[in-house]
Amino acid sequence: MTISDIKNAKIKAWIEEIEKLCTPDALHICDGTKEEYDTLMKKCVDSGLATPLKKKPNSFLFRSLPSDVARVEARTFIASRKEEDAGPTNHWIDPVELKKTMTKLYTGCMKGRTMYVIPYSMGPVGSPISKNGIEITDSEYVVCNMIIMTRVGKKVLDAIGPDGDFVPCLHSVGKPLAEGESDHGIWPCADMENKYISQFPEEHTIWSYGSGYGGNALLGKKCFALRIATVLARDEGWLAEHMLILKLTNPKGEVKYVTGAFPSACGKTNLAMLIPKIPGWKVETIGDDIAWMKFGSDGRLYAINPEAGFFGVAPGTSEKSNKNALEAARENAIFTNCALTEDGDIWWEGIGYPAKGDLIDWKGIKRPALPKDKSPKGEEFAHPNARFTAPANQCPCIAPEWEDPKGVPISAFLFGGRRPSTVPLVHQARDWNHGVFLGSIVGSEVTAAVISDQVGQVRRDPFAMLPFCGYNMGDYFQHWINIGKKSTADKLPKIFYVNWFRKDDDGNFMWPGYGDNSRVLAWIFDRCDGKDNAVDTAIGYMPKPGAINTEGLSEQDKANIPAITSVDKEGWLKEIKDIRENHYPKFGKHLPKELADQLDILENNLKNM
């Protein structure tokens, strides 16, 4: 494609403006074809940035610089016109000043490089729930990842049409090249102080500079799909959430669709691709990370996965924890900051088996492998945030309707965090506002392995959206409450809080997790059908004795169930104190009264136990 093929005058004018500002050596309009992908990947291999993997067909390994290995939250900004609109959980910079700073950085920043224009759709092209974006970038790595992660090409331009809306996304690695200069196989990026990942919510615009990695550079991911999409969802009356979507089928063949929001390291992708331990049940994947939901004419919320691929954390992914994810990345995949084996395969800590011989670690250093799949902290062969990018349609458990443009009707929302104490295995909200309250207090306890002087403190991550909400999070809570007024209780999803991470006094996990979490999903499935398998407690509905299927569990796991399905009165009273003193006050006048009321109700219930 050429720029003359673009019929939308606004898109064309924007491309010409950025080309003039960034002064690339060449311009390329992406079509998303296999031929284009192969050509760009060959360019990466020839330049020394990518290594072909002998053991994985059409798959490649990239190594970034140590300064560019993850999302940089300290350099991520919500540049709303008013600081108050960004709220207490976001970094704010005045948008006028930020644009001045970044325009200066963008000036001439693509010299020696090609400027790629990526027309992409978040969600199936043409779906009433989907949105379109145009990302401009000077990174072949970004283009190849975006081709896997989104729907790219002329069909998107056709869907936008001559006067349709799109989200403009500008990205540069921030490393211009002098004439005849190359990257010499070194990952291009700017110094930390010149990294900016900026969202302009009123304009629905994204500017990113200085990082080539992940969510900082693949602007359809967190920047668009959450930070800008939350603003669009607020204004248009829908939900853009950091949630998996799974299809759950019971032994009778009945189906329900469930979403779940979990902070990092709480098993979201594992749950989305779970292999049930109880006979006759089946889990299939719609999405592993993001859900966009709009009301259908029947008053139910319908969800799509706006992504077309998985950008998963590699370390810890194994046959035991997530066999389906490994299968999804068996070919046509991109690996970033993993270790390379002698026989041309990738390896990471927690993969489930030791490597043989020597490994080339994520920094490019050859070292002898260890006799196990763990490494001392700070000496990992794969970076702890190493990633795999894989097409979703390669996942063995992908649901047939994962690309249905209508979306799938959601029956339940799950919230959860890593809580060694207090929070039970599962409990259900009594109503919508109680469920919003549960979402608003999500968090994970700090353990001794992290920061010793904060043991027992809870790091709150409301709705697992702390780094991703594009506006004031207090107003985001209010938006959730408002969504509940758009339909009736029988049509809205039921809301549950789960916790796979309870520990005993000796620090041992009290629940086996992984495939055994299907036992909890089965109870939730029946609750959505109104089955009388719960008791009303001070904190919400909890499983009746015997309601959790224990067939096949170890005797110890069975013995733990009463403890992890009971109400810890003292623990919850401490929880309330922490919410009152440390969590809710930060939202000030933006905290909805309904949530303060829910806190009072919970406290009264506990005191009357």
User: Same structural domain for residues 266 and 372?
Assistant: no
Which contiguous run of DSSP H or E holds residue 239? strand 239-241
User: Same structural domain for residues 275 and 314?
Assistant: no
In a domain, 44, yes or no: yes
CA dist 266 and 71 (Å) reads 18
What's the total number of domains in the chain?
Answer: 3
| Domain extent for 387 | 310-392
In a domain, 59, yes or no: no
User: Same structural domain for residues 246 and 387?
Assistant: no
CA dist 53 and 56 (Å) reads 5
CB 117 within 8 A of CB 28: yes
In a domain, 54, yes or no: no
Output the pLDDT for position 446.
65
419: region left, alpha or beta (phi > 0 left; psi from -120 to 50 alpha): beta
Output the pLDDT for position 1.
82
Residue 387's CATH number: 2.170.8.10
Residue 532's CATH number: 3.90.228.20
User: Same structural domain for residues 465 and 424?
Assistant: yes
Residues with a catalytic annotation lie at 266
Domain boundary among 375, 392, 409: 392
User: Same structural domain for residues 145 and 255?
Assistant: no
Output the pLDDT for position 266.
86
User: Same structural domain for residues 304 and 336?
Assistant: no
CA dist 522 and 520 (Å) reads 5
Nearest to 145 by CA among 311, 23, 2, 292: 311
User: Same structural domain for residues 98 and 221?
Assistant: yes
User: Same structural domain for residues 597 and 538?
Assistant: yes
In a domain, 61, yes or no: no
Q: What is the mean pLDDT of each run of 10 residues along the chain (609 residues)?
A: 90 98 98 98 98 98 97 95 98 98 98 98 97 98 98 97 97 97 96 97 98 97 98 98 98 98 88 96 98 98 98 95 97 98 98 96 97 95 97 98 98 96 97 98 69 64 97 98 98 98 96 97 98 98 97 97 98 96 97 98 97
Domain boundary among 181, 211, 236: 236
User: Same structural domain for residues 258 and 336?
Assistant: no
Helices (H), 565-592: 569-578
What CA–CA distances, in Å, run from 29 to 33, 114, 137? 12, 10, 11
Output the pLDDT for position 271.
96
Backbone dihedral angles phi then psi of residue 140, each to the nearest 5 degrees: -65, -35
Read off the tokens for 287.
């999405």
Read off the tokens for 94.
């005045």
Distance of CA 271 to the CA centre of its chain: 13
Output the pLDDT for position 456.
61
User: Same structural domain for residues 222 and 246?
Assistant: no
Nearest to 139 by CA among 211, 223, 221, 39: 211
* 81 Cβ contact list (under 8 Å, min separation 6): 95, 202
Question: Residue 297 has what DSSP assignment?
Answer: T
